[in-house]
Structure 1
Amino acid sequence: MIGQVILDPLVPVFVLYVLAGLAAVGVVFAVWRRLLGWALRGLAAIVILGAIANPSLQQEDRANLADIVVAVVDESASQRISDRAAQTAEALENLQSEVARRANTELRVITLGDGEGDAGTELMTALSEALADEPQARVAGMVLLTDGRVHDLPAAPTVLPAPLHVLLTGREEDWDRRLVVKNAPAFAILGEPVTLTLRVEDQGAAPDTDFVDLSIAIDGGAPLAFQIPVNQDVELPIDLPHGGMNVMQFATPLADGELTDRNNEAVIQINGVRDRLRVLLVSGEPHAGERTWRNLLKSDSSVDLVHFTILRPPEKQDGVPVNELSLIAFPTRELFLEKVDEFDLIIFDRYKRRGILPSLYLENIGTYVQNGGAVLISAGPDYASADSIYRSPLGSVLPGRPTARVYEEGFTPLITDLGQRHPVTEGLEAFSPTPASEDGTPTWGRWFRHIEVTPTDGADVVMSGIDDQPLLMLERIGEGRVALMASDHSWLWDRGYEGGGPQLELLRRLAHWMMKEPELEEEAMWVEPNGLSMRIIRRTLEDSTGEVTIIHPDGTETIVTLDEITPGRYELLWEAPEVGLYRLRDGDVETVIALGPAAPREFEQTIASGDVLADLVAGTNGGIVTMTDGLPSLRDVRAGRPAVGNGWIGITPRDAYRTADVSVTPLLPAWLALLLAGLLVIGAWLREGRR
């Protein structure tokens, strides 16, 4: 019970002062007139003024509240390397025992993990939230158990109500090696080297080393070994091996005494794109579709087109002098013999043997395909004739043998069951200018010529024509690819006949498939990452797919089963447990994907240091204590005094309390004041009257 005297004047304070002044003037006047009762008059005035001031005794029943010590324990990834977790646990146990020995003191422990995504250690955010949950008047001290690698210092509380201390993990002899990719483009042009800048940094008490080993693996393949200098920027030129996403993994081996190997690797992803698609269009004779082929190819700014067309066959005899037919001779030898390998795609549009291109040239094109080239045949009646290009040396690489029969009737091209799974024709109906019917049958326009062919054993028939006979055939030949369109009426789609059809999309897919673009491979698997989630997509021509094995960054494996979304396409959304490089395998089909940043923020700086928190701690008179120097005891310090010393840290007792009850007792009741004032006034009157 604690009491104190309080005043609760019955009139405003300034009125009380005026009355006191008037009373003083009256007493002085009485003394000047030598009135014998001046003292009694003065006492009466004091009693009346006291009654007006209304003094009271206020008594409070108080319950003392415990002081609070806030401890924020950093359990982020960098705190799990070496023996820092054990150091932190020991320091926390010591702090708990120190607080337990103190009377009227409580400990609040807040644990902190990794920040969301790659936010790092959000220690100040955790401290701010902890202080917001506690009464500021009760907080006697704050202790951070951490390695000092804080990534949200601007989020620190603006006002700290008590001393802030840091118990620092780590050891003086700690050192670490880190691999950094300083610049890496998101995409690069195929065939042109891209320059990456790498750096291997040694941090802390690292041994003297001039060079370290570096391995580079692309798409999870066999790594290539190099040696690079330490603590120097190294420029590394790289040629991307293929189009699409190229995943590159750089790694240095774990050295003796190094803190962790989590920052010895860096993974980057570069999308390989083609600068220009070089196309050679060979037209056998002028016809309605020739202009369509040319317009389609010229409309794409990324296509470099060379058009070789035969406008006047050799057998034509019209008496025109030869020197008036052409200004220059067409460089057929240069194109078809010397520079044929420079083209990405060769298209034969209604071409037949006329003696213009010698068999040696066509044989060279066959070799070009075997070595990785691509040929597309748009067949007309010429393909079924005795002069068919199939009956040339090029026939050995073509996917369909003509039967010499030509259908001249209307038909609607259809996608075969295999075509529904093949990436060239999968979902092609969605690109038609007219919507498909309710049963999914395409409503695109008809064609009016179909060349009957017999597909080879290795050909994939993805579109059919009259009586379900092969219309579009695809085949892999050696390292190259060949496509055969058994009709020369695809141009009707481009002209919009009967609503037209998706000729441009079909041609685009054909070209990209023949260019071996990864997204159009028949047997393919790729991953679409989103944070730590990955959408696994598997495409196959088979009726089913096996289980997918996911190999984690630490070597553990997870086996998952994908769900069929559309014919030949299987997907699964999978949540990864951590960042890093994942390998996925389904039989012979493999892919790799990097989740998270190339270098996690937690492992950019791994040497424990209190430099980041030094100014914040100094502003509260707190201290930074390394755990290996000994665990400190707790002492009481007054507010504003230094709160750290040799082997101890200080907290400021707050003496907080909660008022349970308040009672107010008047010291001068009204009746007593009236009685005393009356007696004093009467006494003064009697004394003065006796004279």
Structure 2
Amino acid sequence: MAREILFDPMFPLWLIFGLAGVALVLCVLAALRGLPGWWLRALSVVALALALADPSLQTEEREPLSDILLLAVDESASQGLSDRPAQTEAALADLTQQAEADGLDLRVTRVGDAEGDGGTQVMTALSALLAEVPRDRVAGAVVISDGQIHDADLAPDLPAPLHLLRTGRDTDWDRRLIVSNAPAFAILDEEFTITLRIEDQGAVPAALGEEAEVIIAVDGGQPRAYLIPVGEDLDLPVTLPHGGLNVIEFRVPQAEGELTDRNNAAVIQINGVRDRLQVLLVSGEPHPGQRTWRNLLKADSSVDLVHFTILRPPGKQDGVRQDELSLIAFPTRELFFDKIDEFDLIIFDRYQRRGILPSIYLENVRSYVDRGGALLVAAGPDFASADSIYRSPLAPILPGEPTAIVMEEPYTPTVSDLGAKHPVTEGLPDGYGLDGAPWGRWFRQIQLAAGDQADVVMTGVEAEPLLILDRVKAGRVALLGSDHVWLWDRGYEGGGPQAELLRRLAHWLMAEPELEEEALIAAAIGQEVTVTRRTLGDAPETVTVTSPDGTEQVLPLTEEAPGRFTARFVGEMQGLYRLTEGARQAVIGLGPAAPREFVETIATDAPLASAVEARRGGSVALEDGAPDLRQVREGRAAAGRGWIGWTPRNAYLTADVRVTSLVPAWMFLLLAAGLATLAWLREGRS
């Protein structure tokens, strides 16, 4: 029950107070003049002012409300280390029991890992909880956490103390691997530097040495181990082994007693790009198709093209003297002997033996392919002649042998059954041709006998091999058995996908990873991972996925297209996932390999120290036992040894309100009139 006097004035208070003030001044003047009734007149003015103010008595019936204690429980990934979950649940149970005993209304919010790599957003959750309750009932706030809070600067403006109940132990220690300066792109064959650092945190055992082992693996291949000093930056020179995506994994073996190995690994993905593609194109004679090759290669600004066309063979007899010719001599020795290894791709376009390239130079081309070079032969009628380039030292590496038959008849190039699986020809766009034909027709084909190990990916007349691919030791060779690809370029009968076909062909020859026939690939959108297994052989059945915490799951593969099998899964945690299918391996990182939760794993008071101190709270280590909960007055220190405090707010709910007039207005008027009359009578007697 609460009572309060209220006023409901008939006129504005300023007017009432103004008139009363003037009247009282007159009373004072009367007193100065010696009038004996001045005090009665003053009382009459007061009574009149009270009548105009209309005083009332307000009576409230109040129901007291319980004070609210806010509790944020950190359940992020770092809170799952060691015995922190048990400490958390024990502290929660004890705090709940004490809050009930004190009549506190305990409001609990549990905070997991934030989306992406946001870490632990406890203060954001506490602010949301504070917004849901009446502010004048909040008696305190408690956070149960290891202290590794990543939004500590967003602590809400609490009207009561803030406390931290810290999990973890003073003996905890951890080791982590830090990889920095890793670029997203790097030039092939150019060295760049990645900085490695192994860092120990917490109560590190004295028995640990000053060096630690780091294991490095590229694209899931054979790992290699190295010893590096602990606590020092190490600049590691790296040269990418191939173009496209290069996945480099760094891992430090888990040491005995450390909190977790989730921060002992890092994976970086670097796209290898060629600085300049060096291509050598040798055309045996001018013909309509050579412009197609030239336009394709020159369309890419990153391609340095060296193109030679043999306009006047040595045996040509036209009566023109050599010193009167303006043709450039073919620099055979420089190209095929001194600088051959500088080229990424060599193309022979309708080239035939005319004595321009001695056998030793062609032998050098074969050695270039054996060492990992790329060779493309675009065959015309010359390939079926006695002067064919096949009848040279290149014969052992060419994937097809000419039968000396040139087929001159219309046909539509067709992707073979094997070609439907091969990345060079799978899914080539159609719809170019006339009358519903997929592509326009060609009119010439060289009959070829494909090698036993070669892949026939396109066929022509009567299913004869048209495009043959093969691997030769470390290199790759392609043979196109027609010189009519230019018809597609000119749009004859609608044309065809010559640009896409030749682009894929050139990139396959240069061993671009995205065009590998046998590959295990993983790609992620958010936390959803798509696993793709590409093969020319038998259908694979399953792929094994190893999560960052070491658990495994087996996924069945489903054929989505010829030679392409896929599976999908959702990664529940951030980190490095390993995929295995037979002898093939791949890795993919969801978020960083060491998420923000595991960058700092040692329990600490530091992040929340300023927020706790500003609100007169305290930090208590739970390894020493749960603290007592005590009531403290507002403005006093709310924490001490083994206890934390809450401030009573004395909030209430008004159940009923009654307003009663203290004295009727007519009684005040009657009293004022009587006092004025007494003053007049007394002064009259005088």
Task: Decide: shared fold, TM above 0.5.
Answer: yes
Residue pair 1:64, 1:656 contacting (<8 A) in 2 also = yes
- 1:27 & 1:288 partners in 2: Cα distance? 124
5+ residue gaps, structure 2, are none
Give the Å deviation of 1:280.
2.7
Residue pair 2:197, 2:230 contacting (<8 A) in 1 also = yes
- 1:260 & 1:590 partners in 2: Cα distance? 25
- 1:621 & 1:438 partners in 2: Cα distance? 85
Give the Å deviation of 1:582.
1.7
| Structure 2 match to 1:442 | 438
| Structure 1 match to 2:190 | 192
Secondary structure of the equivalent of 2:390?
helix
The answer to whether the aligner puts 1:396 opposite 2:396 as a matched pair is yes
Task: Write out per-residue CA displacement over residues 79-122 of structure 1, whole angstroms, 9 at most, x where no aligned residue.
Answer: 111222222222222222221221x4211111111111100111
Give the Å deviation of 1:353.
2.9
| Structure 2 match to 1:267 | 267
1:4/1:484 CA distance change after superposition, 3 Å? same
Tell me which amino acid in the other structure corresponds to 2:479: L
| Structure 2 match to 1:105 | 104
Q: 2:512 aligns with which of 517, 529, 543?
A: 517
- 1:274 & 1:31 partners in 2: Cα distance? 109
Q: 1:197-236 to 2 correspondence within 5 Å?
A: 197-207=195-205, 209-236=209-236
Residue pair 2:433, 2:496 contacting (<8 A) in 1 also = no
Residue pair 1:414, 1:442 contacting (<8 A) in 2 also = no
- 2:544 & 2:37 partners in 1: Cα distance? 112
- 1:306 & 1:39 partners in 2: Cα distance? 121
| Structure 2 match to 1:504 | 499
Task: Write out per-residue CA displacement over residues 270-321 of structure 1, whole angstroms, 9 at most, x where no aligned residue.
Answer: 1122223232323333333334433433443333333454333343334555
1:354/1:140 CA distance change after superposition, 3 Å? same
Secondary structure of the equivalent of 1:613?
helix
| Structure 2 match to 1:7 | 7
Secondary structure of the equivalent of 1:293?
helix
TM-score by length of 2: 0.92
1:477/1:677 CA distance change after superposition, 3 Å? same
Q: 1:79-478 to 2 correspondence within 5 Å?
A: 79-102=79-102, 104-157=103-156, 159-207=157-205, 209-321=209-321, 330-337=330-337, 339-429=339-429, 435=432, 441-444=437-440, 446-478=441-473
Tell me which amino acid in the other structure corresponds to 1:107: L
Task: Write out per-residue CA displacement over residues 639-660 of structure 1, whole angstroms, 9 at most, x where no aligned residue.
Answer: 2222222222221110000101
Task: Write out per-residue CA displacement over residues 120-154 of structure 1, whole angstroms, 9 at most, x where no aligned residue.
Answer: 11111011111101111000111111122221234
- 1:686 & 1:438 partners in 2: Cα distance? 129
Residue pair 2:579, 2:585 contacting (<8 A) in 1 also = yes
| Structure 1 match to 2:51 | 51
The answer to whether the aligner puts 1:533 opposite 2:538 as a matched pair is no
Q: Name whichever of 628-637 and 677-686 sits farther off.
A: 677-686
Give the Å deviation of 1:371.
3.7
- 1:553 & 1:685 partners in 2: Cα distance? 102
1:641/1:389 CA distance change after superposition, 3 Å? same
- 1:16 & 1:306 partners in 2: Cα distance? 105
- 1:291 & 1:686 partners in 2: Cα distance? 132
Q: Name whichever of 652-661 and 21-30 sits farther off.
A: 21-30
- 1:541 & 1:28 partners in 2: Cα distance? 116
Tell me which amino acid in the other structure corresponds to 2:630: R
Secondary structure of the equivalent of 2:79?
helix
Tell me which amino acid in the other structure corresponds to 1:471: L
The answer to whether the aligner puts 1:605 opposite 2:600 as a matched pair is yes
The answer to whether the aligner puts 1:547 opposite 2:550 as a matched pair is no
Residue pair 2:432, 2:494 contacting (<8 A) in 1 also = no
Secondary structure of the equivalent of 1:59?
strand
- 1:482 & 1:28 partners in 2: Cα distance? 122
- 1:577 & 1:480 partners in 2: Cα distance? 41
Tell me which amino acid in the other structure corresponds to 2:174: D
| Structure 2 match to 1:577 | 572
Task: Write out per-residue CA displacement over residues 331-385 of structure 1, whole angstroms, 9 at most, x where no aligned residue.
Answer: 4345445654443322222222334434444344334334433221111112112
Give the Å deviation of 1:77.
1.2
Task: Write out per-residue CA displacement over residues 660-680 of structure 1, whole angstroms, 9 at most, x where no aligned residue.
Answer: 110011110235445545665
Residue pair 1:527, 1:593 contacting (<8 A) in 2 also = yes
5+ residue gaps, structure 1, are none
Task: Write out per-residue CA displacement over residues 532-560 of structure 1, whole angstroms, 9 at most, x where no aligned residue.
Answer: 22222333335844222222223322222
- 1:437 & 1:630 partners in 2: Cα distance? 84
Tell me which amino acid in the other structure corresponds to 1:181: V
The answer to whether the aligner puts 1:493 opposite 2:471 as a matched pair is no
Residue pair 1:250, 1:266 contacting (<8 A) in 2 also = yes
Residue pair 2:262, 2:549 contacting (<8 A) in 1 also = no
Give the Å deviation of 1:571.
3.7
Tell me which amino acid in the other structure corresponds to 2:52: I
1:413/1:669 CA distance change after superposition, 3 Å? same
1:32/1:479 CA distance change after superposition, 3 Å? closer
Secondary structure of the equivalent of 1:417?
coil
Give the Å deviation of 1:68.
0.6
Task: Write out per-residue CA displacement over residues 233-269 of structure 1, whole angstroms, 9 at most, x where no aligned residue.
Answer: 1000122222221111112222233222111111111
Tell me which amino acid in the other structure corresponds to 2:152: L
- What is the aligned length? 684
1:27/1:306 CA distance change after superposition, 3 Å? closer
TM-score by length of 1: 0.91
Q: 1:636-651 to 2 correspondence within 5 Å?
A: 636-651=631-646
1:239/1:438 CA distance change after superposition, 3 Å? farther
- 1:387 & 1:261 partners in 2: Cα distance? 65
- 1:135 & 1:190 partners in 2: Cα distance? 63
Tell me which amino acid in the other structure corresponds to 1:105: L
Secondary structure of the equivalent of 2:419?
helix
- 2:53 & 2:645 partners in 1: Cα distance? 45
- 1:375 & 1:32 partners in 2: Cα distance? 126
Residue pair 1:50, 1:668 contacting (<8 A) in 2 also = no
Task: Write out per-residue CA displacement over residues 169-216 of structure 1, whole angstroms, 9 at most, x where no aligned residue.
Answer: 222232221110121011212222221011111222324542111111
1:46/1:342 CA distance change after superposition, 3 Å? closer
Task: Write out per-residue CA displacement over residues 39-92 of structure 1, whole angstroms, 9 at most, x where no aligned residue.
Answer: 665555544333222222111000000001111111111111122222222222
Secondary structure of the equivalent of 2:550?
coil
Residue pair 2:433, 2:494 contacting (<8 A) in 1 also = no
Secondary structure of the equivalent of 1:88?
helix
1:297/1:671 CA distance change after superposition, 3 Å? closer
